[in-house]
Chains A and B, each alone.
Chain A
Amino acid sequence: MSVLAQIAQEGLPAADQQNIEAAGGAGMAYGLAAIGPGIGIGYLVGQAVQAMARQPESAGQVQTTMFLGIAFTEALALIGFVVFILLKFV
């Protein structure tokens, strides 16, 4: 407890502070990068379900297209993740 109090009084060393800020920034970038694809996949799947409900005979084709759409949208999140690991660890 006394160590924590001492840190709080003196503040962290500049290098540690910088590392914490970099980690926070990279983590926030990754989180933000996952929001867009999340919205995209939600919209995509909603429309696909609607299409399947309207035309059940073409459900197979719709599912194929939906799967490819999800995978393409996921690529955006993957790019965010790769930027995160490159910023954080390289």
Chain B
Amino acid sequence: MNAPANPLAMRMEGPSPAVEVAKDLARRGALIAPVAAMVGALFWGTHGAASVAYALAIVVVNFLLAAWSLGFAARISIALMAGVALFGFLIRLGLITLAVLLVRDAAWVELIPLGLTLIITHLGLLFWEMRFVSASLAFPGLKPKPGLDAAQASNSPTISDLSETKEHQ
């Protein structure tokens, strides 16, 4: 086991992995947005669709804000990142509360689909992302490399290839 370094003096350089994860979450959020809006419209009409879209936007902005603040603080100091993670939680919770309370009396807002979407998309997107993150942690060969074109990507090993290799070993 290595001797621990001083977290006050440590800092991370290069692109933040949290920002990459959050961008991926935002991409997936954009993918499911039309389906979620349709489900909202099916049960609560156009107001439901608008509320679902608003809640999805809150969830995605929350992820991006969390990742950006963590990445920004980690470039200064790991200890600052810990502080930002704790106070950022409170601040973002306050911002979510403000974002919902500001529109709660608006004509286009249905609180039930808005609340349900907040919880379901937050957890759903995380579980979806977690599958890919855990796969790339277990099989680092799957990690997309910057600048890799489609032809090269098609030659990269897949999860099943790597599993078979492991079985043969």
Which A positions have Cβ atoms within 8 angstroms of B? 34, 37-38, 41-42, 45-46, 48-50, 52-56, 59-61, 63-68, 70-72, 74-75, 77-79, 81-82, 85-86, 89-90
Contacts and interface: CB of A to CB of B under 8 A. Distances in A.
Contacts of B85: 41, 45, 66, 70
B126 A68 contact: yes
A41 B17 contact: no
Given A52-B10, A54-B1, A71-B63, A82 B118 contact: yes
21 contacts: A34-B93, A37-B89, A38-B90, A49-B7, A49-B79, A53-B4, A60-B12, A61-B17, A63-B16, A63-B17, A64-B133, A68-B129, A68-B133, A70-B70, A71-B122, A71-B126, A79-B119, A82-B119, A85-B100, A89-B111, A90-B112
A70 B66 contact: yes
A79 to B, nearest CB: 6
A42 B2 contact: no
A68 B137 CA distance: 13
Nearest to A51: B4
Contacts of A63: 12, 16-18, 70, 74
